[in-house]
Chain A
């Protein structure tokens, strides 16, 4: 996997796991790859994957069954969505607003564009 240069690798791995769960590639309440498997897949130190899994456990996105490995939480996809929505609102939206202000783009323009985008996608 190609990691970006800005965020800590363990967080990027956590993000990767969240992506898979949110996109239902890894199903809820089912086993996700072991630390070792994911380390090989992503070419990283198993200790780093371990840290990501601990982080995700703490976030209640995954859980561990003794001797069986790691599983995605029952409502993981939903809680990931919620977290990511919040993250978008709190972190990315202010940046967008800042740029809109800088370029004098009205909010209505944004709404039009968004509706166009949705229509295009549905057709």
Chain B
């Protein structure tokens, strides 16, 4: 669905944010895009939705070139940025203004999400809190039924019950021909939803793996003593012993700890990546 080849991008010449980046993404999955601050996550998602143009290389989304910003393309790709702008109108007017731009927009779905998020329908958008606005936009984004949904820190600003609602909504809405890319630092909020992990580092996607592949190759454990683990890769001291990432010799079925995995990958890059080749 998304096919990126040798993409190079930078805001200034000689100062590239992404360099020779390659990425293939399939529909039907929820991808978690992880990377340090300033690694270029936004640049990548903006290239995918046609807000920024590659310096060189190609980017294709469902066979189209995003930079053309064809209306048909824009109807199929929705970007939910971290900071959002909402005009000073009611939810209903907002729908009347914007929904007709998306032919597949499902109003019932939108109102169902608004109800689930517990948002007062008659309020003006600018009187709402950041979290409420975010929830309106999440509902809108999903109701467009766009084939590619890019979400930047969607759970930022959401209260605890809303995060739960968010997970329920996403779990209920994703379709086989749809793709959601969530770029986030709040991995704990979302790690039960994400089934593919993308890691952006050194101006490239250095890892693109399904969660089951990661836990097949690596074991995530809590131990009292480090010598209980054969071939540990990375560990962090915890209150009772250690959290460890190790090579999964014994074919254990451990649960992926995304934070640990990310830290392990950054500190032991060669060793971790070599498990996947």
Q: Are A7 and B253 in contact (CB under 8 A)?
A: yes
Q: How far is the CA of A10 from the CA of B254 in the complex (A)?
A: 10
- Chain B: minimal CB distance from A79 (Å): 20
- Give B15-31 as 1s and 0s: 1 = Cβ < 8 Å from A's Cβ atoms: 00000000000001110
Q: Is A44 in contact with B255, judged by CB distance below 8 angstroms?
A: no
Taking CB atoms, residues of chain A closer than 8 Å to B195 are 45, 47-48
Q: Let me know if B253 and A8 touch, CB within 8 A.
A: yes
Q: Quick one: which of B28, B30, B192, B211 contacts A3, CB cutoff 8 A?
A: B192
Q: Which of B29, B168, B253 contacts A11 (CB 8 A)?
A: B253
Residues of A within 8 A of B256 (CB): 8
Closest to B260 in A: A5
A123 to B167, CA, bound (A): 44
Among A35-43, A60-68, A94-102, A112-120, the stretch that binds chain B is A35-43
B174 touches A46 (CB 8 A): yes
CB distance from B245 to the nearest CB of A (A): 13
B172, B194, B212, B257: the one within 8 Å of A36 (CB): B172
Q: Is the CB of A8 within 8 A of B193?
A: no
- A46 CA / B173 CA spacing, docked (Å): 10
What's the dominant secondary structure at chain A's contact region?
Answer: helix
- In the complex, how many residues of chain A place their beta carbon closer than 8 angstroms to a beta carbon of chain B? 22
Given the complex of chains A and B, what is the CA–CA distance between A39 and B164 in angstroms? 12
Contacts of B164 in A (CB 8 A): 43
Interface residues on B, range: 20 to 34
Interface residue from A3, A36, A42 paired with B255 (Cβ < 8 Å): A3
Most buried by A among B167, B194, B255: B255
B-side interface mostly:
mixed
A4 located at the interface, meaning its Cβ lies under 8 Å from any Cβ of chain B in the complex: yes
With CB as the reference atom, state the residue of chain A lying closest to B193: A45
- A43, B193: Cβ atoms closer than 8 Å: yes
The answer, yes or no, to whether A80 is at the interface (CB within 8 Å) is: no
Q: Return chain A residues, CB-CB under 8 Å to B168.
A: 40-41, 43
Which residue of the partner chain, among A11, A43, A47, contacts B167 with CB atoms under 8 Å? A43
Residues of B contacting A48 with CB < 8 Å?
192, 195, 211
In the bound complex, what is the Cα–Cα distance between A46 and B254 (angstroms)? 19
B255 touches A9 (CB 8 A): yes
State which residues 1-36 of A face B: CB under 8 Å: 3-12, 36
Q: Which 3 A-B pairs have the closest CB atoms?
A: A43-B167, A39-B171, A8-B253
A interface vs B, CB < 8 Å?
3-12, 36, 39-48, 51
**20 A–B contacts from the bound complex (CB under 8 Å):** A3-B192, A4-B255, A8-B212, A8-B215, A11-B253, A12-B255, A36-B172, A40-B168, A40-B171, A43-B168, A43-B193, A44-B167, A44-B192, A44-B193, A45-B171, A45-B192, A45-B194, A46-B171, A46-B174, A48-B192
